[in-house]
Structure 1
């Protein structure tokens, strides 16, 4: 190229000469200019965070309790469940998860608001404006409070052992212990309600069977009473016994009279007693026929009445046996419901913390400093790369 000597390098230097032939003077930036971005991006935010954590942030205390939900499972035992229980010890049941979900639910937060004034606990006069509720970054609605509650009430479940760990974070150690104990009590109330519902569901069908059996037995008793009133007799079978006895006596008398007639005809054929005995035989036969007709032989006789009465008494006996079976089933259902009762076994009671667990000032400041330093170095590398790309 014209006027450019690559062998000596003079042509490259001439490109940076001023019009008057002098070269520009390159000045290094000052110390303040070199360190100002680092100070603004790293040191100042770290100093602000340090000032908050070491001078402003209020101490927060953690009360911890551990519990387990115990009770006989209602599920039928099987080979797989036996293997799981053998391999894993005590497994977490669905009832444990129910208690776990309740502690972290909006219902528990509202219960604590009504019973323990937990909203005032999170707004102590000594608490700093950023950590308390409400704060400049939150609203005053219940949903905002629930988000705050969700960060300060922590429930963890070990699915292997079934042990639940509850942590409550407040600005006073007594408040943390009190809220943890109140949540544990509320969980016990929940378990009691679950027991009541489970017991009712377990024995409700048996109670219905008993009620139906009692109603059926009462209906049979009413039918039997109506039948007795209509037939004007308490027990047709018992009332037939005297009638059968009378027929038997009449038949005995008839046999005796016939024997007497036979004896007279053999010893005194012309005896005037023979017509008398013959008339007695006729009378006895007529009486026996009338008595038999009263017992059998027509719709108004005693046999249809006895048959209907026996049917009612048979149904009554079956109803009594059915009621006894239903009562036995009800007692068995109550015993099973008692065996399936759930309860909370408190392993570690809510403790009274001796020192604040939060804020973790040193670790928090270190994390902030490391994060800002990383962002600063990344930004510096990006800017340096962009400059080199523009020069090339």
Structure 2
């Protein structure tokens, strides 16, 4: 048993000796590489060195470090400083803040808009406006009143910030998006709009025009239902107007055909004629009776009075037939039948007139609703002329470029040292 324990201890000692030997070999290898690198360093003869030539890779390393410093750090810093100092053109920012509000919103909707948990549509309208401002449609609308290519390409020395007037429509859209900044608060729907140009007046005029056109666009979207209602009301008005014209024409033709303008007036005239005829008939009857009472049966006046009485009676029968119908009048000449036909035509005209009046009222209401402004862009921070240029931010831009260049050169230098230290030749 003791022999086994002794043998185990010897084996452990052998393993420890082997691990120690490996560590020593690794340390010796590292020290040899360090000594080799030191031996390769050029030491002038005047400093006690051997004066032999350095390896070609050391010269390359030294040149790369020096050239990299100038190319990666010094050149960008100097060039950016010169550009920002002498060539960069001043850009002026105009800012406006507004909210989209409905012109006919109820108090309950306004109270609901105070809660962030209830979506009243203001945020959606703001997002629609933001998308519209950064679209080609806005550029096309503004181009009708402003020369955007001339505004964003005034001809300064700053070719980097200016827009090339010969650029395409797509280039103008990309440049427009870089000059216009719009943000929407998704909770309150408040919109912040900023625009940069090379003139304070251009910035103010453009941002004012953007707000105006955006308000028109929002109202155009919200008026879609009103426009459809107005179109339907106009169609109904045209139909009722045509029906009224037909009814008026039919009544006029019926009156012309029957020769009667007003049935009540005609009936009164016929009644007056009948009254006179009956009165005359009474007088003639009295004269005939007077002659009979005087035994003048053969008097020639009696024959005349009897003939006159028969003629008056025929007239009475004729006019009675015209008024109420009878054996002596046809249906076309009956006043009652004519009155029925005319009253039907007049009723048709009144119905058509009522429909036209209702259609006219509906059309006017729809027209007023369509012309009424439904949404407003309430500007609570109005755009003004900028007094100082906010862009370019010269110092900040130069510091950022210089720091980035310095970090780039430091990374390059570290990689170069890493490559040199791991190169055997």
Q: Same fold (TM over 0.5)?
A: yes
Q: 2:37 aligns with which of 23, 27, 37?
A: 27
Larger Rg: 2
Q: How many residues align?
A: 370
Q: 1:210 aligns with which of 231, 234, 237?
A: 237
Query: Aligned pair in 2 of structure 1 residues 234, 375: CA closer, same or farther (>3 Å)?
Result: farther
In the other structure, the counterpart of 2:351 is: 318
- Secondary structure (helix, strand or coil) at the match of 1:102 reads helix
Q: CA offsets per residue over residues 267-288 of structure 1, 9 Å max, x none?
A: x8x9959x99999987776554
In the other structure, the counterpart of 1:7 is: 17
Separation of aligned partners in 1, 2:66 and 2:337: 115
Deviation at 1:316, TM superposition (A): 1.4
In the other structure, the counterpart of 1:304 is: 337
**Runs (5+) with no aligned partner, structure 1:** none
Separation of aligned partners in 2, 1:194 and 1:362: 45
Q: Is the 8 A contact 1:91 1:161 kept in 2?
A: no
In the other structure, the counterpart of 2:252 is: 225
Separation of aligned partners in 1, 2:72 and 2:376: 51
Separation of aligned partners in 2, 1:62 and 1:5: 77
Separation of aligned partners in 1, 2:351 and 2:25: 125
Q: CA RMSD in A?
A: 5.3
In the other structure, the counterpart of 1:65 is: 96
Query: Aligned pair in 2 of structure 1 residues 271, 241: CA closer, same or farther (>3 Å)?
Result: same
Separation of aligned partners in 1, 2:221 and 2:368: 17
- Secondary structure (helix, strand or coil) at the match of 1:347 reads strand
Separation of aligned partners in 1, 2:373 and 2:145: 30
- In the TM superposition, what are the counterparts of 1:118-267 in structure 2 within 5 Å? 118-134=148-164, 140-187=167-214, 201-247=228-274
Deviation at 1:152, TM superposition (A): 0.6
Separation of aligned partners in 2, 1:261 and 1:86: 104
Deviation at 1:239, TM superposition (A): 0.9
Alignment of 1:105 onto 2:115: no
TM-score normalised per structure 2: 0.64
Deviation at 1:259, TM superposition (A): 11
TM-score normalised per structure 1: 0.68
Separation of aligned partners in 1, 2:170 and 2:26: 68
Separation of aligned partners in 2, 1:363 and 1:299: 106
Query: Aligned pair in 2 of structure 1 residues 304, 86: CA closer, same or farther (>3 Å)?
Result: farther
- Secondary structure (helix, strand or coil) at the match of 1:27 reads helix
Q: Is the 8 A contact 2:102 2:376 kept in 1?
A: yes
In the other structure, the counterpart of 1:87 is: 115
In the other structure, the counterpart of 2:318 is: 290
